[in-house]
Amino acid sequence: MSRVLIIGAGGVGNVVAKKCAMLPEVFSEIMLASRTKSKCDKIASEIKDRTIHTAQVDADNVPELVALINEFKPAMVINVALPYQDLTIMDACLETGVHYLDTANYEPKDVAKFEYSWQWAYMDRFKEKGLMALLGCGFDPGVTGVYTAYAAKHHFDEMHYLDIVDCNAGDHGKAFATNFNPEINIREITQNGRFYENGDWVETKPLEFHKPIDYPNIGARESYLLYHEELESLVKNFPSIKRARFWMTFGQEYIKHLEVLQNVGMTSIEPIKFQGQEIIPLEFLKALLPEPSSLGENYEGETSIGCQIKGVKDGKDQTYYVWNNCSHQAAYDETGGQGVAYTTGVPAMIGAMMMLTGKWNKAGVYNVEEFDPDPFMEQLNIHGLPWHEKVGLELPHEY
Ligand code: NDP
């Protein structure tokens, strides 16, 4: 029985709040706080059988966060605001003595840089206070790390090749929209790609490498090699991995729009002067695009995200594929959110449950794959993200 403070009332915050509300035996009191309080109130009003406290907070402001935490006295904070706020929220947790969880690594606003270094640097401070910070507990990062830990525990003596494969075969009917915060999403995709091979990072041009990958129940979809933050922690925590890559599908329409927007400078994060005012083109673009949380209603199709791993078990070659398919419509029917918000919000709730029930409990700053994957995998099956596995079969694409 614990009090939890959820910060961020976007697509993911909506799912986290609703899923936590379904488990009063774990989350006894819930507060949802965000920059715009009316968004928290709307979500709270949709949760009929429980009272959800709401509040306005600027999560860039540590004293404001500290005041809110001291007033509500949660056992932990679930941070589903934006990656820009990770460090201020961690600072506030340290000051007030509460545990911390997020779903995306810290990014400075002025440079799109994806790495854990800033947050890993909090290790000693969290240890000294006897507090735990769990980083990257969405789907990817998040479940992909739990899947990899589960594979290492049950199916391999050594893992050598890891491919994380992420397909969104859904259709929301809009010409161009992103499934989570457009600013964060476009910053990620327009960066150079990167993968890990034999101890080094190999850089690629944005979306340079692509190929069709076969996804269960969906079929072949063109998939693009991107850098994704969990690669950094996974190759550190599983040093036998020789190569680690991340693939994500994009439709032709999406790529066409993105190319045009990039060519005209709309995806830039460099400030420009416009009619005497300084604006950041990508922030302006975000204001024009549909809110990801509004995409759910007519969203058809499903997502499929998994890990394909090759390595050795009992002296023999071993292959393993573990994945989840999530229907956008089913996610909407249950929470009013689309599949991408659902696949992020459910693992965040489960991670919080792991921490509050003491199943994952270690002072310091950790990534999900550093804990026993079994209780988390069990909860995925119970709370809407059932997983499937294929052991010892040919993987659907080359290695
Ligand atoms: P949204 O943009 O829909 O929501 C973000 C929320 O954070 C909004 O309610 C916003 O408030 C609030 N917020 C932003 N800045 C502040 C601030 N300074 N103080 C208080 N609140 C603030 O994003 P999503 O819900 O799509 O994404 C949430 C997080 O989940 C992101 O960090 C994203 O990177 C991560 N994510 C992780 C995934 C994974 O698998 N690991 C996948 C998808 C997303 P306002 O409404 O006023 O703008």
Verify whether ligand 1 is closer than 6 Å to residue 337 (CB atom). no
Distance 6 CA to ligand 1 centre (A): 11
The superfamily in CATH containing domain 143-335+382-391 is Dihydrodipicolinate Reductase; domain 2 (3.30.360.10)
Verify whether ligand 1 is closer than 6 Å to residue 44 (CB atom). no
Helices assigned H by DSSP within 137-198: 143-154, 182-189
State the number of CA atoms in the 13 A half-sphere of 148 facing the CB.
34
Helices assigned H by DSSP within 73-181: 86-96, 117-120, 123-128, 143-154
Verify whether ligand 1 is closer than 6 Å to residue 308 (CB atom). no
Test site for ligand 1: of 79, 80, 84, 346, most ligand atoms within 8 A of the Cβ: 80
Q: What is the torsional sign of CA 324, 326, 330, 335?
A: positive
What is the CB neighbour count within 10 angstroms for residue 201?
13
More confident residue, 181 or 356: 356
pLDDT digits (tens, 9 = 90+) for 76-124: 999 999 999 999 999 999 999 999 999 999 999 887 778 999 999 999 9
Verify whether ligand 1 is closer than 6 Å to residue 344 (CB atom). yes
Verify whether ligand 1 is closer than 6 Å to residue 8 (CB atom). yes
Verify whether ligand 1 is closer than 6 Å to residue 351 (CB atom). no
State yes or no: pLDDT of 391 exceeds 50. yes
Test site for ligand 1: of 85, 135, 181, most ligand atoms within 8 A of the Cβ: 181
State yes or no: pLDDT of 396 exceeds 70. no
Q: Which ligand 1 atom is at minimum distance from the Cα of 184?
A: 34
Residue-level pLDDT at 58: 98
Fold agreement (2-135, 143-335+382-391): no
Beta strands across the sheet bearing 52-56: 52-56, 27-34, 2-7, 76-79, 99-102, 132-135, 364-367
pLDDT digits (tens, 9 = 90+) for 327-378: 999 999 999 999 999 999 999 999 999 999 999 999 999 999 999 999 999 9
> In this structure, what token pair is assigned to residue 112?
């799109």
How many helices and strands in the chain, by DSSP H and E?
14, 18
Calculate the average pLDDT of the chain.
Answer: 95
Residue-level pLDDT at 235: 98
Verify whether ligand 1 is closer than 6 Å to residue 292 (CB atom). yes
Residue-level pLDDT at 399: 44
398 falls in which pLDDT band (50, 70, 90)? low
pLDDT digits (tens, 9 = 90+) for 121-175: 999 999 999 999 999 999 999 999 999 999 999 999 999 999 999 999 999 989 8
Query: Fold for domain 2-135?
Result: Rossmann fold (3.40.50)
In this structure, what are the phi and psi dihedrals at residue 27, rounded to the nearest 5 degrees?
-105, 90
Distance 153 CA to ligand 1 centre (A): 33
* Domain parsing of the chain, residue ranges: 2-135, 143-335+382-391
Which pairing describes strands 243-249 and 219-226: parallel, antiparallel, or unpaired? antiparallel
Enter the ipTM: 0.99
Verify whether ligand 1 is closer than 6 Å to residue 345 (CB atom). no
Q: What angle do CA 151, 153, 397 make, to 5 degrees?
A: 15
Most distant CA atoms of the chain, gap in Å: 68
Q: Which ligand 1 atom is at minimum distance from the Cα of 58?
A: 19
pTM: 0.95
First to last CA, the chain: 47
Verify whether ligand 1 is closer than 6 Å to residue 293 (CB atom). yes
